[in-house]
Amino acid sequence: MIIRRLLSLAASIALGAAVAVPSVVSANDEVMALSQDPNNWAMWGRTYDGSRYSPLDQINKDNVGGLQVAWTFSTGVLRGHEGGPLVIGDTMWVHTPFPNKVFSIDLNDQSINWIYEPKQDAAATVPVMCCDTVYRGLAYADGKIFLQQADTTLVALDANTGERLWSTVNGDPKSGSTNTNAPIVVGDKVYTGISGGEFGVRGFLAAYNINDGSLVWKGYSTGPDEEMLIDPENTMSMGQPVGKDSSLNTWKGDQWKIGGGTTWGWYTYDPELNLVYYGTGNPSTWNPVVRPGDNKWSMTLFARDADTGMTKWVYQMTPHDEWDYDGVNENILADIEINGEMRKVLVHFDRNGFGYTLDRVTGELLVAEKYDPAVNWATHVDMETGRPSVVARYSTQWHGEDANTTNVCPAALGSKDQQPAAFSPDTGLFYVPTNHVCMDYEPFLVEYVAGQPYVGATLSMFPAGRVTMDGTDHLGNFIAWDAAKGEIVWSIPEPFSVWSGALATGGGVVFYGTLEGYLKAVDANTGEELYSFKTPSGIIGNTNTWVHNGKQYIGVLSGVGGWAGIGMAAGLEGDTDGLGAVGAYKGLSKHTQLGGVLTVFALPG
């Protein structure tokens, strides 16, 4: 039985890694043990810190050029395939975009153990999904697979049989709420957020009991202190208490009720501090003229107590957002040396183009620098206040409503969107898939109607080279970043945005995928390309690695889509369609087509 093998595996891992696992394995201890074994890939980032690093070195920079396709699996679903599979022991679980199928696969012969396909109302759900029908991944704990369906239903499945054990509703598509995020499990709680900022949905992070799906706590991104789970005297921001009604004071009237700040990105966790970290998205609407104030706490990094949900610290990266620079990207937890001192840090590559390094204990801002030289909307971040210094020329509010602000860098999809970076403790570098895209941005007046788009801006996007006049037309870079100095170490230009999650390994190799469909392996120190293989469709999935029967494998989901590929995925043609992305990526259709395939690689023999 699969579950019996998993529990046995968890116990053996704990003994081998000197981790104390009691005779009755709790979800947290089990997940910790499973994630500490590099043979598994037991959560979205492999480990709670979200580093996407594996110490496996059977595949290394000396032999990676000999990789071959070991096997493939078709999901039978088109649209964008983000995220990646889970692997524990002999079993893999693969997810799809809407309709959010889940496949359990026996790795011994690649046969299907079971398939779960939820019954969702496509007519109610798909039209209110912002940027393709993507889904970013599953979670495992306590013999259960946790699936966050697009229609906001959170489901617990028996990992052995696929039986639906319980479900709970997290939102309402009729009001524009959907879900695309991968949940995580800490202790006896599974954490999930909400999507729908483009429909005026008010964001939150919610914790549900893994045994019955009951709500334990919910912390909102905007609104009254008690609903945000903020203690005004003990929640800190830039070293100071946030004070009473820190969110309410920054919104006009009751705008916070439809204020966005949705939480559709990634979640990480520090077991020693017992803190969950995540970011919040854009304020609603995209028209900044009609919502004066900082619009707290949208565009914000949160550190919450995992048990109670109480907020320890917050940091708002883009006050009064004027460009849709959602702050939901992953927060990688690492211990690095800064100015001669080892610090427990959180590293975040924001949509706004700045790479942030913060003390994850206190929220102190340590580094804030541009990780794409094309970024022009702000000159720098003031290290005393934490606020960006906005360039009036690129302020979409300064020009006024119905005025087109041109040549803003980055575009709304950011210098990096949801595609997660990786961190290697071997090199001390962060490996970041990025977008090299700028935009024109024209706000207009829009009224809020529940379940209807609440955007209020027309965008068009194009390569950053058009603004920088450097003669280039590439739309992406894959970079190595020094988070202590805030510097790019090396950079690889790519024709299209790099929308795939990165993987760093103990073999000195870093993997990533491209929108044309190439899986690439590069030297972790130099960025030299060591291997390339074109998969059946464009890659916006995250590269994973695991060991089965003593052999290391590399796997990646291909299936073009997501915001960058929305034109192909949804059949859109106008330059300003897809919230402005279609025009920038028109040439992509010459290089790849739709498809959903897991491609697994290994060395021969």
- Active-site residues, by number, are 324
In sign, the C-alpha dihedral spanning 381, 385, 390, 391 is negative
Say if residues 158 and 241 touch (Cβ distance below 8 Å): no
Strands (E), 280-316: 300-305, 311-316
How far apart, in whole angstroms, are the C-alpha atoms of residue 565 and residue 251?
34
Q: Say which amino acid occupies 389.
A: S
- Show the CA angle centred on residue 387, arms to residues 197 and 231, nearest 5°: 70
Greatest alpha-carbon pair distance for the chain in Å reads 67
Q: Residue 369: helix, strand or coil by DSSP?
A: strand
Phi-psi region of 199 (alpha: psi -120 to 50; beta: other; left: phi over 0): alpha
How far apart, in whole angstroms, are the C-alpha atoms of residue 381 and residue 370?
9
- Residue 195 is classified by DSSP as B
How far apart, in whole angstroms, are the C-alpha atoms of residue 370 and residue 325?
14
Task: Please spell the DSSP secondary structure of 210-228, one letter per residue.
Answer: TTT--EEEEEESSS-HHHH
User: Cα dihedral angle (119, 123, 128, 132), rounded to 10 degrees?
Assistant: 70
Among residues 301, 83, 260, which one has the least CA distance to residue 177?
Answer: 260
Say if residues 475 and 463 touch (Cβ distance below 8 Å): yes
- Residue 281 is classified by DSSP as -
Provide CB contacts within 8 A for 385, sequence distance 6+.
238
Q: Residue 122: helix, strand or coil by DSSP?
A: helix
Q: Residue 158: helix, strand or coil by DSSP?
A: strand
Helices (H) and strands (E) in the chain — how many of each? 6, 42
Pairing, β 487-494 against β 503-505? unpaired
End-to-end CA distance of the chain: 29
